[in-house]
Structures are given as structure tokens and as C-alpha cells.
Amino acid sequence: MATVRVVVNGAPVVMNVEDHELLLDVVRDRLRLTGSKRSCDLQVCGACTVLLDGLAISACTTLAAEIDGRALVTVEGLADGDTLHPVQQAFVDHGATQCGFCTPGMVMSVCALVAETPDADAQEVREYLSGTICRCTGYVKILEAAAEVLARGDDAAKRDE
């Protein structure tokens, strides 16, 4: 058992977690932030991607006890009330979501991409997003959404990272 103090989507949280507890289970079952999804459970598909101190990580293979003192952002923490985060808005505008199960992880991956490599070219975007799988869209509209956010160079897109 460990006590972790984290900032989750801007709000401080103190929790006791078991040594074996995975961050994804804590986020989904205890914090009831079910936007982060479990699919492959092997750090391959990216559906559970969250931002830890601004870096994209897979919550399915991260121990909750390891995040003490850090800042966690999940997909629920991006929008400002009814105003969507620019990456979310680009996904809506470009039709970049279908079944939606990959979408939270994909949105978080694009947020991390924009923060890490704001001048990424098309090939770099594809390489970066190849860590997140989508079975529905064929990626075309996701890549369009990412390209639009990058092209705008919108400061707001980076505000959380």
C-alpha cells in the first residue's frame, strides 16, 4: 500500500493504492474517469493513453504507485466547460471519430504530439500516431485533424502540456 498525491485534471487527489494496482484501473474504477479505455492491455494500442507531466503514457502498464507527486491529464481534463480543446474540436470538425473507443487515446496522443513536435511534418505525424491504433477510420481523418492543429500552431493546443 502506498499513498500517492497527484493532480488529476487540475485537481489535487490523495489516494491509497495497492502496490499492484494499475493506473488504468485507478483512473477508470476509482476515479470513474472512464474515457480512458482498455483494449490490448499490452501498451500497443494506445486506447489508454494519458498525459503524465505532459508526456503520453499507457495507463494499462503503469503502476498507480509510481505517479506520486505528478500531474495527470485524462481526456476528461481537456475541455474547458463546453469549450472543446482545439484537438478535440479538430476531431469533431474532420469526422475523425467513428466507434470512438480509440478516440480518447488518440486525442491524447495528438495533444502530446503537438506539444513535443509542433513542427512535425506529415511523415512524422504518421510515425508518432502509429503508437495508437484505430480499427474504424483508416486514419485518414485523424491525420487531417492532427495536421490542422499543427498548421494552426494554436497556443491553446499546448496549454495543458
Please give the residue ranges that form the binding site for another protein (CB under 8 A): 28, 33-42, 44-45, 47, 74-76, 78-79, 84, 88, 91-95, 97-104, 107, 125-127, 129-130, 132-143
Strands 11-17 and 2-8, bridge-based pairing: antiparallel
Contact 55, 114 (CB under 8 A): no
For residue 159, give every residue at least 6 positions away whose Cβ sits within 8 Å of its Cβ, in sequence order, or none: none
Beta strands (DSSP E) in 29-157 are: 49-52, 55-58, 71-73
Smallest gap from Cβ 144 to another protein, in A, equals 11
Smallest gap from Cβ 157 to another protein, in A, equals 14
Smallest gap from Cβ 56 to another protein, in A, equals 15
* Amino acid identity, position 65: A
Nearer to another protein, 55 or 79 (CB): 79
Query: 15 has which bridge partners?
Result: 4
Smallest gap from Cβ 109 to another protein, in A, equals 10
Nearer to another protein, 5 or 138 (CB): 138
